[in-house]
Structure 1
Amino acid sequence: MATQVSDDVATGARKKHNQRRRGANIRLQAYGIGAIGLAILMLGVLFTSLLYTGASSFIQTHIDLEVTIDPELVKADEIQQGNFRVVVRRSLEEMFPEVQSRTDLRALSQIPSNGAQYQVRDLVLDDPDLIGKTISVTVPVSDAFDQFHKGVIPRDVPEDQRKVNDFQVGVWDKLVAADRISTPFNWTLFFSADSRFPELAGMSGAIVGSFYALLVCFLISFPVGIAAAIYLEEFAPKNRITALIEVNINNLAAVPSVVFGLLGLAVFIQFFGLPRSAPLVGGMVLSLMTLPTIIISTRAALKAVPPSIREGGFGIGASHQQVVQHHVLPLAMPGILTGTIIGLAQALGESAPLLLIGMNAFITSDPGGIMDPATALPTQIFIWADSPERGFVARTSAAILVLIGFLVVMNLVAVVLRQRFQRKW
């Protein structure tokens, strides 16, 4: 009887213990699902906010004008010195001949972008026969009217609280009714360099600068990182010196990026005298950041190769160098490429070291090489975020979306390479 009671007690204890284990397991799964759900929710909020703010930058408001190239304002032998500002202004005055007061004429001239005159000038430079003729051109409007047409600047607020006054609103409504306003895709955002006018600002200079900097970073960090990892993993003796080197490499991977920027400023610019704002310096600084990541990922990929591969190579009489070069390294290459691409993607999103070496200068043209002044996508985002004009708010979000797009593509390439070339044993 006592034995039966003790068995029942033990069985009940086991049941309670199993119930507690199942409960703990369910709670752990719930915590994991909740954490993933929270992360997805926050990412959704981030992307929704960026899309809501930056979507308007992917279209640009334009106005169709009938422009007369007056020979008195534009001389055939001095086209560059032509008064194209007045040429563009007169085209609007001819559309609204009833406007006579100087204040209203000034308000009328504020509708086209400041870059309209240069667009007309370029057309005349390409074809001087246009002098004396009337041509149809489509030019961007100024930022205030672009924001007004997109609804960012509401019309139902008092006149003193918006940049577009009531007279300009009336003129704008007439232009819209005359079908002279259009909103095509904003190719300027991708194919023009930076500008102080939001409607003319683009990311091409930053994209080219980022490309040059990443190219320099890859050409330095990829061969050096792989060579260092192969030596440390395959050839270096296991002693205190190599142990110290390995610890320092792991620590460098966790060093804040601003420290590398200070190092680049002190060594590459102040000591070696390399030019500020150059992609060469930016790429060298980014390579210092990327090297630890490439070395660590390469060593992990080399360790993942089964020992039987090495033993088979030694068994057929191959040297250590031949085993590594012809057997181990090809099998580890998918992991090496994945780590390299992830390191380059991390370098692409860094702004602190590039700010310290001056790659946040105001550059209005694309860099022609690695020694020309340039910006990068992260620093361009920083410049636009610090600008007071309302139009740059949307362009900042748009640039962030473009940068995230590049990062996603690079990470997808890393995943595809791993899946494509990875071998299973």
Structure 2
Amino acid sequence: MSDVSMNAAPVSAAPPRRDIGIKKRYAAERRFKAYGIGAIAIGLSFLVILLWTVISQGYTAFWQTEISLPVQFSQEVIDPNGQLDEATMRRANYPKLVQDAILQRLDIDPSNRQEATRAAALVSQGVRQQLAGMVRDDPAIIGTTQNIWVLASSTVDSAVKGQFDLSVEESRRPLNDMQLGWLNELEASGELQQRFNTGFFTFGASSRAETAGVGVAIIGSLYMMGIVLLLALPIGVAASIYLEEFAPKNRLTDLIEVNINNLAAVPSIVFGLLGLAVFINWFGLPRSASLVGGLVLTLMTLPTIIIATRAALKAVPPSIRAAALGLGASKNQMVFQHVLPLAAPGILTGTIIGLAQALGETAPLLLIGMVAFVVEFPSGPMSPSTALPVQIFMWANEAERAFVERTSGAIIVLLAFLAIMNIAAVLLRRRFERRW
């Protein structure tokens, strides 16, 4: 019996329950870490897909197809009386000058109306503004011939950029074989090129894609952001200082704080309804004005600035306040000479983030009429204008294929502004932030 017990294999002891619990916790931590990494990867994937879609469709908007033509500025067409009258020169038939130039370049008989019409369709009707501006700036060119790069039509621009299939049969294409032959001839001679589209940043609204730009929208957005900055920053900072440093803690201030936090979560379209009722219907301010848009966005941005400013004031250590009061400073001196300068980085960051949020808003601006067809640049905050997000919304509803790239191009411009503002907020915060 003793031999059997001596030869038996030793029984391994069970691991302690404490070790099993530790392994489970480590496994749970690894799973949670994997979930977090997976969530970040999914978010980044969607972001990359979004940016790729926008950039791949919109980068071509920054290039525009143009045709070089020798345009004769005929005095009979521009100034038949020879009096250099501005009204007469402005109403001149400038598209006819370009039409004559392209017919001469392609050696087309003007009496052949069918070929002449097809050739004239290669250039944009927007040449009217281009040539009229040249004559207005230098009337001496009347009676001369100038080599000018004129805008091609949106159909030609889309064809050159490969936005529709040219290999299908002729009846299913917007350009026929004869027009494609002319384009190939011009491209081979270097008279048809894709050039940087400065008009995208200088033109206003237009029913023709090749002459549509975001210039008016950018100016309108800048006016509105200036109004928001001038109104929301001082009002928001003053309200925050009073609530955080001077207001008594009672039910009234608690109610105000709750309402401010709730206003930060109110849908932006509600502020549009408020602006429509108060600023337009009650105060009688003009629709589509940058001033009204700025006031509406100010109301929407105030809660964000107040919350950010209060958080920055709370982040200042109480020892700063105690030291200032202990050295004989009054409460006003303590707040404005010690606490506020130390909270300035947080206030600045919150303000820039609030402005970036306001820059991308569309819904409140639609309700106050900033969807107007505005061609001329606004001369001031009271002039009709539009904004970048509203311009994007308007172009997205256009049926023409060329407006798709214009929409994505405008989104790229808007994202660039938002990125610059957010990067500025991060850099300024790092530059002036204090570590306690």
TM-score normalised by length of structure 1: 0.96
Q: Could you tell me whether the CA contact under 8 Å between 2:321 and 2:334 is conserved in 1?
A: yes
Between stretches 303-312 and 169-178, larger displacement belongs to 169-178
Q: Could you tell me whether the CA contact under 8 Å between 2:108 and 2:116 is conserved in 1?
A: no
Alpha carbon RMSD of aligned pairs, Å? 1.5
Q: Could you tell me whether the CA contact under 8 Å between 1:63 and 1:138 is conserved in 2?
A: yes
CA distance in 2, matches of 1:122, 1:255: 47
Measure how far apart 1:121 and its partner are: 2.7
CA distance in 1, matches of 2:220, 2:204: 11
Counterpart in 1 of 2:328? 317
Counterpart in 2 of 1:204? 215
Counterpart in 1 of 2:101? 91
1:278 equivalent among 289, 292, 296: 289
2:45 equivalent among 18, 24, 41: 41
CA distance in 2, matches of 1:81, 1:260: 43
Q: Could you tell me whether the CA contact under 8 Å between 1:88 and 1:117 is conserved in 2?
A: no
1:339 is the counterpart of 2:350:
yes
1:17 is the counterpart of 2:21:
yes
Counterpart in 1 of 2:164? 153
Measure how far apart 1:131 and its partner are: 2.6
1:82 equivalent among 79, 92, 108: 92
Between stretches 172-181 and 78-87, larger displacement belongs to 78-87
Give the match's secondary structure for 1:144: helix
Q: Could you tell me whether the CA contact under 8 Å between 1:214 and 1:283 is conserved in 2?
A: yes
TM-score normalised by length of structure 2: 0.93
Counterpart in 2 of 1:230? 241
Measure how far apart 1:37 and its partner are: 0.9
Measure how far apart 1:102 and its partner are: 1.2
> Which string of whole-angstrom CA distances, capped at 9 and with x for unpartnered residues, describes residues 330-364 of structure 1?
10110011011101100000000011101111100
Q: Could you tell me whether the CA contact under 8 Å between 2:67 and 2:150 is conserved in 1?
A: yes
1:287 is the counterpart of 2:291:
no
Measure how far apart 1:130 and its partner are: 2.4
Report the CA distance shift for 1:98/1:336 in structure 2 as closer, same or farther (over 3 A).
closer
State how 1:257-406 maps to structure 2 within 5 Å: 257-406=268-417
Give the match's secondary structure for 1:61: strand
Q: Could you tell me whether the CA contact under 8 Å between 1:313 and 1:327 is conserved in 2?
A: yes
Counterpart in 2 of 1:61? 65
Counterpart in 2 of 1:4? none
Q: Which amino acid aligns with 2:50?
A: L
Report the CA distance shift for 1:321/1:71 in structure 2 as closer, same or farther (over 3 A).
closer
Give the match's secondary structure for 2:147: strand
CA distance in 2, matches of 1:131, 1:210: 38
Counterpart in 2 of 1:241? 252
Measure how far apart 1:72 and its partner are: 2.6
Give the match's secondary structure for 2:150: strand
Counterpart in 2 of 1:413? 424
Q: Percent identity?
A: 51
2:142 equivalent among 131, 137, 141: 131
Give the match's secondary structure for 1:62: strand
Q: Which amino acid aligns with 2:315?
A: A
CA distance in 2, matches of 1:291, 1:81: 48
Q: Which amino acid aligns with 1:213?
A: M
CA distance in 2, matches of 1:206, 1:378: 8
- Give the gaps of 5 or more residues in structure 1: 1-6
CA distance in 1, matches of 2:343, 2:409: 38
Q: Which amino acid aligns with 1:237?
A: P
Q: Which amino acid aligns with 1:84?
A: Y
Q: Could you tell me whether the CA contact under 8 Å between 1:111 and 1:142 is conserved in 2?
A: yes
Report the CA distance shift for 1:242/1:81 in structure 2 as closer, same or farther (over 3 A).
closer
